[in-house]
Amino acid sequence: MRHDSRQTDQLRPIKVERGYTKATPGSILISAGDTVVLCTASLQDSVPPWKKHDENPSGWVTAEYNMLPGSTSPRKQRRADGRSSEIQRLIGRSLRAVVDMDALGPRTITVDCDVLQADGGTRTLSITGGFLALLDTVLAIPDVCDLSPEEIFDVKKVFTNSVAAVSVGVVNGEPVLDLDYIEDSTAGVDMNVVMTGGCDFVEVQGTAEGQTFNRGMLDAQLELATLGIEQLSAIQKECIGEAWPI
């Protein structure tokens, strides 16, 4: 039994509020226990300069990540740092892994993940919520973009799969799923796993903290991650409902 009474294979309670703000077509407030992230997705009917030279430019998806000053104690300084840059690159890679840029067309979607409260797992929750914000924005394209009469936009062709992420680790010698800050700060192994809804790996980040771990312990953590991703994917699908295009 863990310090918060969860089982080793149990996620923290996940809550999702869709359409949390009105300024962007995609806006998701997502929480896992005491970690809370606001994910918004903004749409531009243009592509980055390095794509404009293409005869028929494909789209682009990028991401930014930030922890608000009051998300931690003591206060986090309001400035960019190496950790934030590394995490936003991870989020961007993860989202792009399930998007067909040709089907998206000459548009740019920027997914902003702002941590309102941090208690472990901010990068993984940002990916899970960021995908929902991205999906809502793509669903809105036929309504918010000035499509030409000959342009056919098929939402179902934009996404090759869904994507979500979860943390796993070894705490007190035992593999556990979805670490909070107390567990993360004392874990012997800490891993972040990004997977598609079909349970294919997108990225695995794993580090031993002061000890090594064997192949059996690695496999046990990946099994837990797969169970977590299956649950998160089901939550994502339930959140979108009948509009789920994948």
Q: Report yes or no on 126 lying in a domain.
A: yes
Q: How far is residue 41 CA from its own chain's centroid?
A: 12
Residue 122 has pLDDT above 80, yes or no: yes
Instruction: Supply the mean pLDDT for the chain.
Output: 94
The pTM of the whole model exceeds 0.85: yes
Residue 56 is part of a domain; what is its CATH number? 3.30.230.70
Q: Report yes or no on 5 lying in a domain.
A: no
Question: How many structural domains does the chain have?
Answer: 1
* Length in residues, the chain: 246
Residue 52 has pLDDT above 80, yes or no: no
Q: How far apart are CA 242 and CA 201, in angstroms?
A: 26
Q: Report yes or no on 217 lying in a domain.
A: yes
User: For residue 149, what pLDDT is reported?
Assistant: 65
Residue 121 has pLDDT above 80, yes or no: yes
The strand pairing partners of 99, in sequence order, are 159
**Closest CA relative to residue 236, chosen from 187, 183, 164:** 164
Q: Report yes or no on 214 lying in a domain.
A: yes
Structure tokens at 29: 């407030």
Q: Report yes or no on 129 lying in a domain.
A: yes
pLDDT digits (tens, 9 = 90+) for 195-227: 999 999 999 999 998 889 999 999 999 999 999
**Eight-class DSSP state of 225:** H
Sign of CA dihedral 191, 195, 197, 198: negative
Q: How confident is the model at residue 150 (pLDDT cuts 50, 70, 90)?
A: low
User: For residue 200, what pLDDT is reported?
Assistant: 98
The strand pairing partners of 169, in sequence order, are 176, 190
Q: Report yes or no on 2 lying in a domain.
A: no
Structure tokens at 227: 């169970």
Q: Report yes or no on 3 lying in a domain.
A: no
Percentage, residues of the chain above pLDDT 90: 80
Structure tokens at 94: 């993860």
User: For residue 23, what pLDDT is reported?
Assistant: 94
Q: What is the span of the domain harbouring residue 81? A: 14-243
